[in-house]
Structure 1
Amino acid sequence: MDDFASLGAGIRSARKDAGLSQEDLAHLAGTSQRTIRAIETGTGNPSLKAVVAAANVLGLHVAVR
């Protein structure tokens, strides 16, 4: 669970650095603001597809080990 929390924190930080709101990122990633909030807070059960889409918008890469 720590890895998911770290991933969410990284996405949140990159989003803020890019000057995007959660709503902006959701639109660009093709998902909902609620899903972005769940990713960033490590709550709920967002799909891997949504996580990867959000990361890609921000120029981040998701590695699965």
Structure 2
Amino acid sequence: MDDVAGIAQQIRRSRKEAGLTQEELAHLAGTSERTVRAIETGTGNPSLQAVVAVANVLGLNVGVA
């Protein structure tokens, strides 16, 4: 679970540093604001595709350890 929390925290931090709202990030990533909120809070069950799309918009890489 620490991995999920870490990803959530990094995405939220990067979004804020980019000066984007959740709504703007969702639009750029082609997903819903609700999905962005779920990713940032580590709740729900967003698809891997949605997580990767959001990360890509922010210039982040999602990797497997």
Tell me the TM-score normalised to structure 1 length: 0.98
- The gaps in structure 1 that reach 5 residues or longer are none
In 1: Cα distance, 2:4 partner to 2:53 partner:
15
- Deviation at residue 39 of structure 1 after TM alignment: 0.2
Residues paired across the two proteins, number: 65
Dislocated runs of 4+, deviation >4 Å: none
In 1: Cα distance, 2:12 partner to 2:18 partner:
10
Tell me the TM-score normalised to structure 2 length: 0.98
**DSSP-derived class of the 1:4 partner:** helix
Give the match for residue 23 of structure 1: 23
Give the match for residue 8 of structure 1: 8
- Deviation at residue 53 of structure 1 after TM alignment: 0.2
Identity of matched residues, %: 72
- The gaps in structure 2 that reach 5 residues or longer are none
What residue identity is the alignment partner of 1:60? L
What residue identity is the alignment partner of 1:51? V
RMSD: 0.5
What residue identity is the alignment partner of 2:22? Q
What residue identity is the alignment partner of 1:59? G
- Deviation at residue 64 of structure 1 after TM alignment: 1.5
